[in-house]
Chains A and B, each alone.
Chain A
């Protein structure tokens, strides 16, 4: 038979003199991972949108993250490392957020009925967060796996070919809306949940936070749509030369890359 502690805990009785600290840790970890992912999401959007400036700008950002400007040679595996970290955060965040999901039909029905009857902004926003979060289980996983395994395919032509010829644009389009809505609402909720930026007038602060949330969501959606459009256009124009990599005219081809 198991140890006495396993037997006591196994039948649902308290096996410790005081309440577990795990709910506190899990609440903190959910918020911290959400904050990290939300800020990453915005940074990521700025990086990929450099294609709107020029192919050279996007190329430079890509190579920067591959360590080219520091190490002298591009190491796409560095990107894989970052992706692995983000994937780990996504898995952790999804696991913790699932604690809040409706767990059965009764709970699902109770919440949907409540949401429809109350017609309350923040309650509805949570439902949007739940639905987009659920969608991101699959969308983010697919995207991250691709990036994890093919980090070298990021670049003005590599990304554009994936978007257009690789037919990734539909998933990116859906993911753009899902991630921007989910992240924007999540960051707003973090502020009201922990009382950040509350100031002397919490009601006014909340109004301002919500306005900022919608402005940022609108901004990043517009930026994301323009960026996706740019990659689709480049990908379409480059459809006959899929696989070719972009190298700015002002950079000598990396000998290591040339050899490959």
Chain B
């Protein structure tokens, strides 16, 4: 009889593909590993790379769910490898790179390029009025509740999970995704940003912006930081509609 306390044998089916290697084709490669206590996908993938296959490509930086580098498709859904415990998965785990973003190799994608493009397009920084910046002046006080509200939305780590989990973004490559809409919601709250709803309408008031969102809520359900994306997108939609009908 098998020992109930014996560690599980895990099988990782990992999508392997390097678009820079001539002739390389996407395929699933299996690796077997014995599960250890508290094992995360980060630990498992490092073990595979250290002991079984040094050519396996994947990204990690912080190992603590802060940098967003290790986002990947875990059993078909986007998630952070460092925050995923293997004990919460089956004995067979399928890993694939995030879609939408430029594939570097295997599980490694370049989310930075996409995020930078989105940030530049939506101008995701505080817009102060020209000539009003006085570095010698003490910064204006902000209501702590408002600061908390802004900080709540600022927790976004740009991991790309919301974009990879979005049916609209998969179909329409110009869609700004929940990450972009969340950023607009964040700067809209910020009293230091002098932009009005009319200005924000110029950025997201179209089918590539908030009106393109089909409310599938994949973004909300996969966000590893549990950001209130459903609420924020609905709020932004109402505000942009008001602006659009004005």
User: Which of the candidate stretches A23-31, A223-231, A233-241 sits at the interface with the other chain?
Assistant: A23-31
A23 engages B206 (CB within 8 Å): yes
User: Which of the candidate stretches B20-28, B133-141, B234-242 sits at the interface with the other chain?
Assistant: B234-242
**Contacting B228 at CB < 8 Å: which of A189, A194, A202?**
A202
Which residues of chain B come closer than 8 Å to A26, judged between CB atoms? 211
Residues facing B in A1-31 (CB within 8 A) are 18-21, 23-28
Closest to B210 in A: A27
Minimum C-beta distance from A27 to chain B (A): 4
Q: A19-B206, A120-B218 are in contact. Are A115 and B167 (CB under 8 A)?
A: yes
Which residues of chain A come closer than 8 Å to B235, judged between CB atoms? 195
5 contacts between A and B (CB under 8 A): A24-B244, A111-B167, A114-B99, A118-B77, A126-B167
B180 at the interface (CB under 8 A from A): no
B165 engages A120 (CB within 8 Å): yes
B153 at the interface (CB under 8 A from A): no
B46 at the interface (CB under 8 A from A): no
Which residues of chain B come closer than 8 Å to A202, judged between CB atoms? 228, 230-231
Interface residues of B: mostly helix, strand, loop or mixed?
A: helix
Which residues of chain A come closer than 8 Å to B245, judged between CB atoms? 21, 24-25, 28
B207 engages A192 (CB within 8 Å): no
Give A contacts to B, CB under 8 Å.
Answer: 18-21, 23-28, 99-100, 102, 107, 110-111, 113-115, 117-120, 122-123, 126, 189, 192-195, 198, 202, 206
A118 engages B241 (CB within 8 Å): no
Minimum C-beta distance from B101 to chain A (A): 14
Which residues of chain B come closer than 8 Å to A119, judged between CB atoms? 76-77
B177 at the interface (CB under 8 A from A): no
**Contacting A194 at CB < 8 Å: which of B170, B216, B218, B234?**
B234
A123 engages B167 (CB within 8 Å): yes
Residues facing A in B190-228 (CB within 8 A) are 198, 201-202, 205-207, 209, 211, 213-218, 221, 228
Closest to B240 in A: A24
Minimum C-beta distance from A155 to chain B (A): 41
A27 engages B99 (CB within 8 Å): no
Which residues of chain B come closer than 8 Å to A122, judged between CB atoms? 215-218, 221
B243 engages A126 (CB within 8 Å): no
**Contacting B73 at CB < 8 Å: which of A18, A25, A117, A206?**
A117
Which residues of chain B come closer than 8 Å to A195, judged between CB atoms? 230-231, 234-235, 237-238
A206 to B172 Cα, complex, angstroms:
26
Which residues of chain B come closer than 8 Å to A110, judged between CB atoms? 170-171
Interface residues of A: mostly helix, strand, loop or mixed?
A: helix
Q: How many B residues touch A, CB cutoff 8 Å?
A: 36
A102 to B167 Cα, complex, angstroms:
10
Minimum C-beta distance from B190 to chain A (A): 21
A126 to B234 Cα, complex, angstroms:
17
Closest to A202 in B: B231
**Contacting B201 at CB < 8 Å: which of A19, A99, A102, A118?**
A19
B244 engages A193 (CB within 8 Å): no
Which residues of chain A come closer than 8 Å to B238, judged between CB atoms? 194-195
Which residues of chain A come closer than 8 Å to B99, judged between CB atoms? 114
Which residues of chain A come closer than 8 Å to B211, judged between CB atoms? 23-24, 26-27
Minimum C-beta distance from B44 to chain A (A): 21
Which residues of chain A come closer than 8 Å to B76, judged between CB atoms? 117-119
Which residues of chain A come closer than 8 Å to B243, judged between CB atoms? 24
Q: A24-B244, A120-B216 are in contact. Are A192 and B171 (CB under 8 A)?
A: no
**Contacting A21 at CB < 8 Å: which of B77, B217, B244?**
B244
Closest to B202 in A: A19
Which residues of chain B come closer than 8 Å to A100, judged between CB atoms? 214
A193 engages B172 (CB within 8 Å): no
**Contacting B234 at CB < 8 Å: which of A99, A113, A117, A192?**
A192
B234 engages A120 (CB within 8 Å): no
Which residues of chain A come closer than 8 Å to B231, judged between CB atoms? 195, 198, 202
A20 to B201 Cα, complex, angstroms:
9
A202 to B198 Cα, complex, angstroms:
28
Closest to A190 in B: B215
A26 to B240 Cα, complex, angstroms:
12
Which residues of chain B come closer than 8 Å to A102, judged between CB atoms? 171
Which residues of chain A come closer than 8 Å to B209, judged between CB atoms? 23
Which residues of chain B come closer than 8 Å to A194, judged between CB atoms? 234, 237-238
Minimum C-beta distance from A204 to chain B (A): 12
Which residues of chain A come closer than 8 Å to B241, judged between CB atoms? 24, 27-28
A195 to B73 Cα, complex, angstroms:
29
